Amino acid sequence: MSLLQRAATIAAIFASITGLAGASTPGFALQINQPINAQPASMVPAVAVIQTSPDATTPAVDPADPAPSAPKSTPSYASLADAVAAQSDDDASSDELQCLAGAIYYESKGEPLSGQLAVAEVVINRSKSGRFPGSICSVVTQPGQFSFVRGGRVPEINENHNYRVAVAVARVALADAWDSPASKALFFHARRVNANFNRTQVASIGNHIFYR
């Protein structure tokens, strides 16, 4: 091969290499200039405009979970007599009920039902007032308060109609099943007693006057 031919061959090879380099470099640069974590532009709006139905936000209910119970409400009655008649005929089943029924029986048996309920209200109000003992039995047996108490105890009562009524009235009072006109009373006395009470009278029922 002559010197001229060699020179032509070298020039041709050099030209080929230069062309290849020029063709590949721009493609590499464009690839580097693209964001590495680029996502298709249409995906972002598609996620942003997804609408959910109202039910989709409601948490699933586990069938094993018990259904929420409705709050208990006190039955309504047309009259106090109806409320008393609706009570169980069972004997007083707790000390609290026995003490309250005893106070009603000894202090107001034979009185109108509203008068018996008012006596019960006085005992209950005292137990909640902070000015008297904090339980119904302690209020009833407090020395110097109720004359029927003997030796710090409520005397035993034979089963009779008046006592059954007293137990029923006590149940009504404890359940707050009827509003008493003496609902705020803390004291009472018989009409025949000439008591000079420096207190506010709240009711006069049957043979008793009630004060707060």
| CATH code for the domain of 135 | 1.10.10.2520
Tokens of 182: 């003496």
Q: Is residue 61 part of a domain?
A: no
| Residue 94 structural domain | 80-211
pLDDT at residue 24, as a whole number:
42
Intervals of the chain under pLDDT 50: 4, 15, 17-50, 54
Q: Is residue 150 part of a domain?
A: yes
Q: Which alpha helices (DSSP H) does the chain contain, by range? A: 3-33, 43-48, 80-85, 95-108, 113-129, 136-140, 161-174
Dihedral over alpha carbons 141, 142, 146, 152 (to 10 degrees): 40
Which stretches of 100-200 are assigned E, i.e. beta strand?
187-190
pLDDT at residue 42, as a whole number:
43
Q: Is residue 166 part of a domain?
A: yes
CA-based nearest residue to 127, from 114, 109, 145, 108:
145
Number of structural domains the chain divides into: 1
Q: Is residue 6 part of a domain?
A: no
pLDDT at residue 35, as a whole number:
41
Q: Is residue 23 part of a domain?
A: no
SS3 (DSSP) at 149:
coil
Q: Is residue 179 part of a domain?
A: yes
Q: Is residue 86 part of a domain?
A: yes
pLDDT at residue 165, as a whole number:
97
Q: Is residue 56 part of a domain?
A: no
pLDDT at residue 20, as a whole number:
41
